Chain A
Amino acid sequence: MSILRNVTDLQRATAELEDNYRKLRQTEADARAERDRLDLVIDSVADPILVTDPGGNTVMMNAPAEHLFTAPEVSSEEAQRLVQANDAHFSSFVSNLFFEGGTLRRSGSISLVDPGTGAALPMEAISGKIVSEHGEVTALVTILHDRTEELERARLYEELKRASAELELKVREATAELVRQNELLRRSHIALEQASALKSQFLANMSHEFRTPLNAILGYTSMLLKGVSGELAAPQRRNLERIDSNSQHLLSIINDILDITRIEAGKMPLTVADFPMLDLIREVLAEVEPLIARSKLTVTTQVNDALPPLRSDRQKVKQIVINLLTNALKFTPQGWVTVTAVCDPVIERMAIAVADSGIGISPKDQDVIFEDFRQADDSPTRQYTGAGLGLAICRRLATMLGGELSVRSALGEGSTFTLVLPRAPEDDR
Chain B
Amino acid sequence: MMVQAPPTLVLLVDDYPDNRDIYVQFLTYSGLRVEEAENGHQALDKAFSLRPDVIVMDLSLPGLDGWEATRRLKEDPRTRDIPVIALTGHALAGHSKGAFDAGCDAFITKPCLPERLLDEIRAILAAARPRSGDTTP
Binding site for B on A (CB under 8 A): 204, 208, 211-216, 218-220, 222-223, 226, 228, 251, 255, 258, 262, 267-269
Contact = CB atoms under 8 A, between A and B. Distances in A.
Contacts of B100: none
B92 interface: yes
A222 B89 CA distance: 18
B62 to A, nearest CB: 14
Contacts of B23: 219
A72 B47 CA distance: 134
Interface stretch (B36-44, B48-56, B111-119): B111-119
B92 A267 contact: yes
B114 A211 contact: no
Chain B, interface residues (CB within 8 Å), range: 20 to 34
A211 B25 contact: no
A222 B114 CA distance: 8
A226 B112 CA distance: 15
17 contacts: A211-B110, A212-B16, A212-B19, A215-B19, A215-B89, A215-B110, A216-B16, A216-B22, A218-B113, A219-B22, A219-B23, A219-B114, A220-B22, A223-B22, A258-B91, A267-B93, A268-B93
Nearest to B22: A219
B78 to A, nearest CB: 31
Interface on chain B toward A: helix, strand, loop, or mixed SS? loop
A258 B115 CA distance: 24
Contact of A208 (B25, B90, B93, B115): B90
Contacts of B89: 208, 211-212, 215
B88 to A, nearest CB: 10
Contacts of B25: 223, 228
B76 interface: no
Nearest to B16: A212
A220 B24 CA distance: 11
A180 to B, nearest CB: 41
Contacts of A216: 16, 18-19, 22
A268 to B, nearest CB: 7
A214 B111 contact: yes
B22 A262 contact: no
Contact of B115 (A211, A212, A222): A222
Contacts of A213: 18
A212 B110 CA distance: 8
